[in-house]
Amino acid sequence: MNAVVQILGKKALGNLKKNKTNTNSDNPYLEKAPVYNKRGQISKYKNRERPIPEELSHNDKKILKSVRKRAYRWDMGFSCCCFSFRFGWSVIIGIIPFIGDVIDLMMAYSIVNKAAKVDGGLPNTLRAKMMFNIMVDFAIGFVPVLGDFADALFRANTRNAWLLDAYLTEKAKALREGKVHDSDGGSTVNVPSGLRIDDEPQRSAQQPLPQQSTQPTPARGVFLGSGRTRQPDVEMGVSEARGTVAPKPDLEGRGYLAIA
């Protein structure tokens, strides 16, 4: 499985360059979605969450959404009315000398740690690149004043979110096709089952849920002196809920007594 993970990591890095993704400025959490009018023309655009590939497991979907959201809040959560540039908590906390940079480093590391919990783990190349982004961001933050501005432009968390996004996109494609092609070695490798771990396996259709009996439990009445049991009779006022038999005189006025 490790070989497949490494191949997917190389393909993810290649696709980021090929698609010309601006990993430090493109929003990893939200995208612009067109809104059409009655004539089928685009009237405006609105923000919506980026879709997540359906082939991924529940765990991978949850991690990708969490990493996207954290990176957005930490790097792009705020904007100023005077200019369109977006910034996040990283810039605000980074203003505090030294302590702010340490908090920023810890938050960035927690995002990488979260990303590493995907099924099968992260490729070594991607994890190393994520850690490199964190260290560059930390070093830039130590430069007074200009360092904070450069930190807001570098956006290590956004870069790392896009790295995870590219990897899981390739992973979803491999799961859909059941194999992955290594362009360097020229070989094709089948995708192992451990690359996708379902947290909630579906119940097999051959194992139906047990059905409860809908037949009511018959009440049992015992006649005095006979020791016999009697089946419920609506005419005689049998209560199925309590299992009792109400006395009912016959036509000649003779009665009998029944108890549960």
Give the residue among 203, 219, 200, 218 at the shortest CA–CA distance from 258: 219
> Residue 202 has what pLDDT?
45
Q: Could you give the CA distance from residue 169 to residue 12 in angstroms, rounded to a whole number?
A: 8
Structure letter (DSSP) for residue 256: -
- For the chain, the residue count is 260
Q: For residue range 130-160, list pLDDT tens digits in order.
A: 999 999 999 988 887 788 888 889 999 999 9
Tens digits of residue pLDDT in 160-170: 999 999 999 99
User: What's the predicted TM-score (pTM) here?
Assistant: 0.72
Domain residue extents for the chain: 2-26+53-195, 218-248+256-260
What is the rounded average pLDDT for all residues in the chain? 79
C-alpha torsion 31→37→39→40, nearest 10: 20
Return phi, psi of residue 228, to 5°. Answer: -90, 155
